[in-house]
Amino acid sequence: MNLFRFVAVSLFVLSPLAGAEKLTYTGNGSLLKRPSDDIAAFEGIKNALYPARASGNAVTVNFTLVKGEKNITPHYVFGALSAEKTLKRNTVWLKKGTSDNLYGAASKNGEVSGNAVVIGRQATRARRISPAAAPAAATPDIIAGVVYGGASFYADAKGNTVNLLQEDAALDVIHGGFSGDSAAKANSVAIRAGKVSGIVSGGSSKNGAVEKNTVHVSGGQLGQVYGGVSLTGPVRSNVVRVTDGRIPEGRVTGGLVKAGLSAGNAVYIQGGHMNHVIGGMADKGRAVGNHVKIGGGRIESAITGGSVTFGEGMATKNTVVLGGRSLMLGKAVWLRGGQTPAGDAFTDNRLHIENPIEGEIFGLENFEMLRFRLPSSITPGAVMLNVGKGGALLSDRRAGKSSVIELLHADNLTRLKEGDTIALIRTDGMIGAPPENHVILDEEFQGAGKKAWRYRFRVDISDDGKELLATLVEAPQPRLARKKR
C-alpha cells in the first residue's frame, strides 16, 4: 500500500506580487489553467486553479456537479504555489463540487506553514432511514481525491490543517502536512463527518522527522488513521483522539515509521467503533514509550502499546490504560503491551485497569507491570478483566521473567469484608508463572486527595491456574464518633 499518494512536480516561481488574493470558482472553466511543461511538470494534469500570489490567499470552490461536464472540474486546486518561496496562511475551501487534488499550499523548496483546507460547510447529522425506505444512492455534493493542508518536497511543513465538516463528502486521502525530505511538525486534521476511504494522517514525510501532529475524529467513516507517518522517521509525539465515528476495518495508530523509531506517540479513545488500536508502530526499527488510553467506544481486534512488524526491534516501555463504563471490547481482542517477532516485547510495558471491564477479550500478553485500581463501588466476586481462550500470560516467553502486579484502591471499600476476593483476571487459559515475590500493593490511592483508609490484600493465582485473585486480609476499623461534651 502506498502511504504517500503524490506526484513528482517541478514547480515554478510565481511573480512577486504584493498582498493576497481571493479567488472563487463557481464552474467557470476559463479560470482553470493548463500549465505547460516548462512551467509545471505535473503528470497528467488537465486543469488547475491557483492564485498568482504566494501567501495569505483564500481560494473557494463552490459549484454543482453536472454529469457530462468534466471540463469544469479543477484537477488541482492550490491556495498558493511556488518553487522557492515560504508559503503561509493560505486557505482552500471546498464548499461544493469536486477536485482530484487539494493543497492549502504547495512548494518545491520553500517551507509551508499555517495553511488550511476546509471541506464542507458544517457537520450535519445523518438521518436514520430504514433500508426498505432508503432512496438510491445519490452522487455526493463533495468529492475529492488527495488532500494536503500543506506540502513541501524539500522543506518543512508546519502547522497546516485540514478540516472535514460535511456528512455528504467522499474523499480518498488526507494529510494535514507533508514533506518529502524534511520535517512535518504540528500539523493537524479534524474529521467531524464524511467518508475517507484511504489514509488520514496528521503529518507525513518520506525521509524527515514527523513530530507533534494530531488527528481528531468526532464522526464519519474512515479507512486508516495515523497521527504521524514516515518512511524513515523518526516519528515522535504524535496524537490521535477519537470521540466518535467508525474505522471498521483499519488501524488507529499514534505513529508509524516504515524503518526507524516510533516513540512517544499516543492514541486516546472515548467513543466510536474501530478495529485495531496501536500506540506506536515500526515496520522495522523500534516502538518505545508509546501510550494508549481507552475510556469508551468499541474495539474489535487488538489493542497494542507498541508494535514492530519485522526483525529484532524492541517494543518496550509502552503503556495501555483501560477504563470507563462505556468501553466495549470484542471477543477477538488481543491486549498486548508490545509485539515484535524476535526482539524484546515485554520490558517496562504497563497495563492499567482503572475499573472492571465489561465483556471478554481473547488474550493478554507482554506486560511486565499490571496495575489494577479497585474503585469504591467494587463488590465481592467482581472480575476486573475477563480473558478467553487466548489466555493471560504473566511472564516473558523469551527471558522467563514474571510480571509485576500492582494493586491500588479507592479510599473506602465499604462493600468488602475480610476474606472477600476480587478476580483481577479470570481466564479460560493459563495465567502463567505465579507472581510470588512480584506483587506491589499500593494501599493508598494517590488521587483521593486525602489520606486513604488502609486495606491489606493478598494476591495469588487460583489452584486451577485460571484466576489471579486479590483477597482482602485486613480492613480498617470504623472510626468511632466523638462523644459530645
Q: What confidence score (pLDDT) does residue 484 get?
A: 59
Q: What confidence score (pLDDT) does residue 32 get?
A: 87
Which amino acid is residue 255, in one-letter code? G
Q: What confidence score (pLDDT) does residue 453 get?
A: 59
Per-residue model confidence as pLDDT tens digits over 154-166: 999 999 999 999 9
Per-residue model confidence as pLDDT tens digits over 232-263: 989 999 999 999 999 988 899 999 999 999 99
Which amino acid is residue 484, in one-letter code? K
| Average pLDDT in the chain | 86
Quickly tell me which residue has 477536485 as its cell: 99
Residue 408's H or E segment, with its range, is: strand 404-409
Pick 454 or 79 by higher pLDDT: 79
Give yes or no for residue 348 having a pLDDT over 90.
Answer: yes
Q: Any idea which of 10-14, 403-407, 468-472 has the lowest mean pLDDT?
A: 10-14
**Is 237 in contact with 210 (CB distance < 8 Å)?**
no
- Mean pLDDT calculated for residue range 445-453: 44
Confidence of residue 44 (pLDDT cuts 50, 70, 90): low
Q: What confidence score (pLDDT) does residue 438 get?
A: 58
Residues 76 and 93: their CA atoms lie apart, in Å, by 13
Peptide bond into 380 cis (omega under 30): no
Q: What confidence score (pLDDT) does residue 325 get?
A: 79
- Mean pLDDT calculated for residue range 135-144: 70
Give yes or no for residue 6 having a pLDDT over 50.
Answer: no
Give yes or no for residue 187 having a pLDDT over 60.
Answer: yes
Give yes or no for residue 79 having a pLDDT over 50.
Answer: yes
Q: What confidence score (pLDDT) does residue 201 get?
A: 98
Q: What confidence score (pLDDT) does residue 442 get?
A: 57
Per-residue model confidence as pLDDT tens digits over 286-322: 999 999 999 999 999 999 999 999 999 999 999 999 9
Q: What confidence score (pLDDT) does residue 48 get?
A: 86
**Is 159 in contact with 132 (CB distance < 8 Å)?**
no
Q: Any idea which of 74-88, 137-151, 269-283 has the lowest mean pLDDT?
A: 137-151
- Show the 3-state SS of the chain: CCCCCCCCCCCCCCCCCCCCCEEEECCCHHHCECCCCCCCCCCCCCCEECCCCCCCCEEEEECCCCCCCHHHCCCEEECCEECCCCEECCEEEEEEEEEEEEECCEECCCCEECCEEEECCCCCCCCCCCCCCCCCCCCCCEEEEEEEEEEECCCCEECCEEEECCCCEEEEEEEEEEECCCCEECCEEEECCCEEEEEEEEEEECCCCEECCEEEEEEEEEEEEEEEEECCCCEECCEEEEEEEEEEEEEEEEEEEEEEEEECCEEEECCCEEEEEEEEEEEEEEEECCEEEEEEEEEEEEEEEEEEEECCCCCCCCEEEEEEEEEEECCCCEEEEEECCCCCCCCCCEEEECCCCCCEEEEEECCCEEEEEECCCCCCCCECCEEEEEEECCECCCCCCECEEEEEECCCCCCCCCCCEEEEEEECCCCCCCCCCCEEECCCCHHHCCCCCCCEEEEEECCCCCEEEEEEEECCCCCCCCCCC
Q: What confidence score (pLDDT) does residue 455 get?
A: 84
pTM, full prediction: 0.89
Which amino acid is residue 315, in one-letter code? A
- Mean pLDDT calculated for residue range 88-101: 94
Pick 132 or 101 by higher pLDDT: 101
Q: What confidence score (pLDDT) does residue 482 get?
A: 58
